[in-house]
Amino acid sequence: MTPMLGCTPLGIWVYQDPEVTVSRVRVGSDSLSPAPVLVALDLQNPNDYPLSTVRVELSLALDDLPVGNLNQDSTVVLPEEATSTMALPLVLADGVPMGRLAALNGGTHRFTVTGHAEISTPFGSRKVRFAQEGALRFGPRPIVPRSPSG
């Protein structure tokens, strides 16, 4: 008797999608700089072989204000069983008030990032979707006065 093989494509049991999380968001103090907003993503590869990104697309909102997006071919090698960080400069959304953007450079603000990364695997290309929201502190850390030593 010949064993039956299922319809599961090869690789489904030996591949796991990387986990994509927001590492940080930086709003530059100079809103006229070529990259006033950067989003850094951590890509954690749980597999025992390297992967690589092919393309990344994402959008960012801060305090419910659509700030910018990114649609970029980007090759970053994701070493086996490791986390890689990639910093991505965003294209500002049309109509973002520069004064409002500059005001986002300090304090704590809510962020929402949504997007996907196209990942090259030994089994073909995969689209890994990600979404994250939370709060981040922007600007310099407050200085905490030290108590005088006696």
Amino acid in position 120: S
The residues spanned by each domain of the chain are 19-131
Residue 83 neighbours by CB distance under 10 Å: 15
Q: How many CA atoms lie within 13 A of 5 on its CB side?
A: 4
Assigned CATH for 19-131? 2.60.40.10
pTM > 0.85: yes or no: no
Q: Backbone dihedral region of 139: left (phi > 0), alpha (psi from -120 to 50 degrees) or beta? A: left
pLDDT one-digit tens code per residue, 82-136: 999 999 999 888 888 878 888 888 889 999 999 999 999 998 999 999 999 999 8
pLDDT band for position 140 (50/70/90)? low
Give the residue, 75 or 11, on which the prediction is more confident: 75
Q: With 70 as the cut, is the pLDDT of residue 53 above it?
A: yes
Q: Is the pLDDT of residue 10 over 90?
A: no
Spatial separation of the C-alpha atoms in residues 118 and 127, rounded to whole Å: 4
